[in-house]
């Protein structure tokens, strides 16, 4: 019998333009970089005995295919869909297909910004949404997924 316990993994997904975070537009997103967000996520995941798989892409279909991995391979998902939150029914449907918790995060408070950011197709399928808390929102999102997936027998 396999007595080794496999680490419980969460998937942390980042959408378009988050790869240039910190290089431009400090007014909206501060000086935080994607690498700094990744460090925050790995640290918080470890606090809860979870392992985070942190990814970024500018391609909508890649986000859809990565979400499909959470059907079998992950206990929870944190996603910053970036601008695709405001446009993508495909991401809505992929999130809706999942049975594991999905927590959406936006660095900025999108409700305080341009009207075109007040549509959020991912939010209408997600378990929870954290917007406007900056980098701390990523930490909070990981902590919330940890709460939702906590094993009572641990
Ligand atoms: O607040 C967020 O996290 C957003 O998801 C960030 C997206 C933008 C990602 C970063 O885009 C940059 C654009 C220029 C310079 C630096 C980052 C934006 O389209 C969403 O409405 C809210």
User: Rounded to an integer, what distance in angstroms lies between the CA atom of residue 29 and that of residue 44?
Assistant: 21
Residue 122 CA from chain centroid, whole number? 11
* 122 close to ligand 1 (CB < 6 Angstrom): no
Percent of the chain clearing pLDDT 90 (strictly above): 86
Question: What is the distance in A from the centroid of ligand 1 to the CA of 154?
Answer: 38
Q: Which of 148, 19, 14 is nearest to 85 (CA)?
A: 14
Of ligand 1's atoms, which has the minimum distance to the CA of residue 81? 5
Question: Per residue in 116-139, pLDDT tens?
Answer: 999 999 999 999 999 999 999 999
* 50 band by pLDDT with thresholds 50, 70 and 90: very high
Q: Which pLDDT score is estimated for 28?
A: 85
For 24, 91, 107, 117, the CA distances from 42, given in Å and listed in that order, are 25, 24, 17, 28
Q: Is 106 a catalytic residue?
A: yes
Catalytic position from the list 92, 106, 121, 144: 106
Q: Which pLDDT score is estimated for 108?
A: 96
Tokens of 74: 């992950």
Percent of the chain clearing pLDDT 70 (strictly above): 98
Contact 15, 94 (CB under 8 A): no
User: Rounded to an integer, what distance in angstroms lies between the CA atom of residue 85 and that of residue 94?
Assistant: 12
Mean pLDDT rounded to a whole number for the chain: 95
For 17, 21, 37, 52, 128, the CA distances from 33, given in Å and listed in that order, are 11, 5, 6, 18, 24
* 45 band by pLDDT with thresholds 50, 70 and 90: very high
Tokens of 69: 């991995």
Q: Is 29 a catalytic residue?
A: yes
Q: Which pLDDT score is estimated for 114?
A: 98
Q: Which pLDDT score is estimated for 4?
A: 74
Q: Which is higher by pLDDT, 3 or 19?
A: 19
Question: Per residue in 65-112, pLDDT tens?
Answer: 999 999 999 999 999 999 999 999 999 999 999 999 999 999 999 999
Which positions ≥6 away from 100 have C-beta within 8 Å?
70, 74, 75, 76, 77, 149
Q: What is the DSSP letter of 112?
A: G
Q: Which of 49, 72, 76 is nearest to 141 (CA)?
A: 76
């Amino acid at each position: 019998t396999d007595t080794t316990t496999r680490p419980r993994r969460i998937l942390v997904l980042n959408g378009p333009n988050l790869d240039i975070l910190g290089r431009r537009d400090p007014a909206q997103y501060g000086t935080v970089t994607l690498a700094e967000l990744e460090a925050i996520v790995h640290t918080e995941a470890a606090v809860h005995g979870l392992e985070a798989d942190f990814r970024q892409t500018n391609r909508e279909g890649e986000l859809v295919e990565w979400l499909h991995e959470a059907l079998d391979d992950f206990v929870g998902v944190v996603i910053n869909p970036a601008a695709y939150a405001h446009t993508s029914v495909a991401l809505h449907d992929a999130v809706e297909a999942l049975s594991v918790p999905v927590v959406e995060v936006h660095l900025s408070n999108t409700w305080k910004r341009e009207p075109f950011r007040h549509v959020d197709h991912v939010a209408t399928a997600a378990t929870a949404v954290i917007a406007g808390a900056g980098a701390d929102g990523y930490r909070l999102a990981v902590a919330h997924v940890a709460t939702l997936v906590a094993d009572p027998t641990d």
